[in-house]
Every structure is written in C-alpha cells, then in structure tokens.
Amino acid sequence: MPKETILSTWARNITPSPTLAVDAKAKELKAAGEDVCGFGAGEPDFDTPDFIKEACAKALAEGKTKYAPTPGIPDLRAAIAEKYIRDNGVEGVQPAQVVVSPGGKYSCYLAIMAVVSPGDEVIIPAPYWVSYPEMVKLAGGTPKMIFAGKESSFKISPEQLRAAITPKTRLMIINSPSNPTGTVYTRAELEALTQVALEAGIYIMSDEIYEYLLYEGVKHVSPASFSKEAADSVITVSGFSKTFSMTGWRLGTLMASAPIAKAVTSMQSQTSSNATTFAQYGALAAMQQWERSMEAVRGMLEVFDRRRLILLEGLNAIDGIECARAQGAFYLFPKMDAYGLSAIDFSSKLLEEEKVAVVPGEGFGAPGYMRLSYATSDEVIEKGLERLARFCGKL
C-alpha cells in the first residue's frame, strides 16, 4: 500500500459541484434548526405524478427487478424515439438511436466521452451548467469558454463561435432552455450556430433537459431537427428529472446517430450496466400516457410562472441588483457586482448573516452573478427576498 494517498490525474483535477454543495449546506443548517431560505436546489418541489409512481410500484410487484438491456427497455426507447419525431420534428428516429442512462448528468458525460479524446477542445458558452467543464476534463479534453453576459441576453453569436473554433475543436455544447440563466435560443439563432458547427465539422451536444419548462409563449427547438446533416452531428441529451419531477429516479436520455448511440451503449455496459429497471417502467408510463404527463407539467408551469415573476420583480426592486427576464427552466441569474464583493463572498455572507442560500456565479463561469432557483415555495421566495433586500441594504 502506498505510504501516502496518491490520487489520479482525474481525481486531482475535478471540482466538486457548487450547486450540490450549497444545497447540502442549506440542508445541514435546516437540520440544525435554522430557518433557511434555500434558492440553490435545481429540482421541482412537486412530487412525481401518482400514475408514474404506480407504474413503477406495479413493475416492482411483478418482479421486474432484474437487469434490463443496457440502452433501456425496448418499449421505452421506442416511445422516446416517437416523441422526438412527434414533438421535436427530428425525422426518422429509430429506437436504436436512443439510450436510457442513470440520469441526465450521466447522459451528458457519455455524450462527451463518446466523441472527445485527450487533447480535443470543447466549446462551452458561459454562463454554463457547472458540470460541463468537469466532464470535458474527465474525458481528457480542454474546455474552451465563450462568455455572453446579460447585455447579450446570455446568448453567444455565430461570430463568437466561429472565432473560437480551432483545428483541435471537436464539440460544442448548447443548453436551451439554459441552466443557470433561463435563456431560450430562438430557431434562427440555433440554426445560425448549427450552421457554423456543421461547416467546421464539429459535433454539437444539445442539452434539452428543460425543453418543456417554457414561459411567455416561447418555443423550444431541437438542432437535430434542422437537416439530415444536423441529425448526424447533434447528440441530444435530456431526461425525466425536470419535466416530470423525477430527480431522484435518475433517468436520463440520449438520442444520436446510430454509431454514436452504439458507442454510448458500449461505454454504459462497462460502467453502469443499465438504468434501474423498475424506474424505467415509471418513465414508460409518463411517455405512453402523454396527455396526463403534460397536464401535470402544465400545473407545475402555472406555479413556476407565478413564482418567476414574483422573484424577478423582487430582485429588480433591490438597489444594486439587475436581473434579466428568464423564459425557461426555473432559474433567475441576477447581476450583483455593484456591491464590491465577489459572488462567492456575497453568497457566503448572505447565508451566514441572513440564512439565504444562493449559488455564486463563479461556478457557472460568470463572476458577478448569482443563481436563484424558484423551484421552491412562495413563502420561501417572499421571506428570502425580504432578507436579501435587508442584506443588500447593509452593504
């Protein structure tokens, strides 16, 4: 045994998730009896719809507890393929192009691992979801950030993308609707970015986990729907967590060209085998009883939309905070650099002094910003805004 702990290159270079760290700290304080207003968690505060839970329980009762095929149970893969044809306008998707994984996060990781080799560059628009750069590093790749702040609606331009591409570029990542900003790219904007990527011969990973959480009539668009060439170059990742309030079920999806889907299946077979078998039957119920699923989503969206506007108005009423109007997901990403504190110091003092938990923007590649989730109760939002205003007033 080594005299001292010797960690691998991967373990030494990885950064823990700041969003999970903030959530854990808030829960720790709550467990100690503190009255914490938590805006850190990226999960709906609704229960999974009953009919989905009942389908899972039925599968358990029927003994569906053995290994499943690595890429997912056939009926679920077929239903997901049909969904991409019907809802997303991607032509001719076959079940063989779909892989069900243990969580949307793992689907992202497998997508990156399937096409990125050591030394390859991956373009990541910032602000970004905290795990993208770390996954690229785990693949031996180099994350290359393009920043787009509040002034450009948190959207990169085709010119920025074109300028960032080098002979080493292998992949670019798009997340629309976005975590952490709630930004939604239009069809024209996505078409322009996709065209640049296709001309350069690079892959696109399109993370569409929030595709049904939309407000103000905006539409979600899948880049894989633009053309046959786009469908071959886009790896679409998603999952059941956010849409169906199934975060703990750990069910992600990936849809790609057949060769990439086959490679992802091989990697999954050697790492996690399959996603939990009986959980997949709950997901199957969500897909097969689509109208019931969408009814549940509409109910959540009505509540989220009200909270979004309350939080947006409350944040913009605080002197020194500027917040853009998000149109998707369940996050707001206000700018708070007017106080002379880094976002890390700001959020640390805010939690310590006022027991309000927010995630600092540094973890998203955006110093001077912070992320607040409105997937929490109206009471927490109102109380949290009052405390935040008091804290900022002291600054």
pLDDT at 127: 98
**Greater pLDDT, 382 or 28:** 382
Q: What is the DSSP letter of 19?
A: H
pLDDT per position as a tens digit, 73-97: 999 999 999 999 999 999 999 999 9
Q: Whole-model pTM?
A: 0.95
| pLDDT for residue 369 is more than 70 | yes
**CA proximity to 194, closest of 186, 127, 80:** 186
Kindly report the three-state secondary structure assignment for every residue of 327-384: CECCEECCECHHHCCCHHHHHHHHHHHHCEECEEHHHHCCCCEEEEECCCCHHHHHHH
Written as one letter, the residue type at 288 is: Q
Domains of the chain (ranges, CATH numbers): 9-47+293-394 (3.90.1150.10), 66-287 (3.40.640.10)
pLDDT at 17: 79
> Judging by beta carbons within 10 Å of its beta carbon (0-12, 13-18, 19+), is residue 167 exposed, middle or buried?
exposed
Report d(CA 234, CA 337) in Å as an integer.
Answer: 36
Cβ pair 48, 246 in contact under 8 A = yes
Q: What are phi and psi of 244, to 5 degrees?
A: -110, 15
Confidence of residue 28 (pLDDT cuts 50, 70, 90): confident
pLDDT per position as a tens digit, 218-239: 999 999 999 999 999 999 999 9
**Residue 121's beta-bridge partner residues?**
142, 169
Report d(CA 12, CA 52) in Å as an integer.
Answer: 40
| pLDDT for residue 318 is more than 70 | yes
Question: Alpha helices, DSSP H only, in the chain?
Answer: 9-13, 18-31, 50-61, 74-86, 104-115, 131-138, 158-164, 187-200, 228-233, 258-271, 277-288, 290-316, 343-354, 378-394
Report d(CA 285, CA 24) in Å as an integer.
Answer: 32
pLDDT per position as a tens digit, 141-193: 999 999 999 999 999 999 999 999 999 999 999 999 999 999 999 999 999 99
Other C-beta atoms closer than 10 Å to the C-beta of 96 total 14
| pLDDT for residue 23 is more than 90 | no
**CA proximity to 97, closest of 262, 251, 237:** 262
pLDDT per position as a tens digit, 229-272: 999 999 999 999 999 999 999 999 999 999 999 999 999 999 99
**Greater pLDDT, 194 or 1:** 194
pLDDT at 43: 86
| pLDDT for residue 1 is more than 70 | no
pLDDT at 249: 97
Report d(CA 99, CA 89) in Å as an integer.
Answer: 19
**Residue 172's beta-bridge partner residues?**
123, 204
Written as one letter, the residue type at 212 is: Y
Average model confidence (pLDDT) for the chain?
96
pLDDT at 222: 98
Confidence of residue 128 (pLDDT cuts 50, 70, 90): very high
pLDDT at 10: 87
Q: What are phi and psi of 197, to 5 degrees?
A: -65, -40
| pLDDT for residue 293 is more than 90 | yes
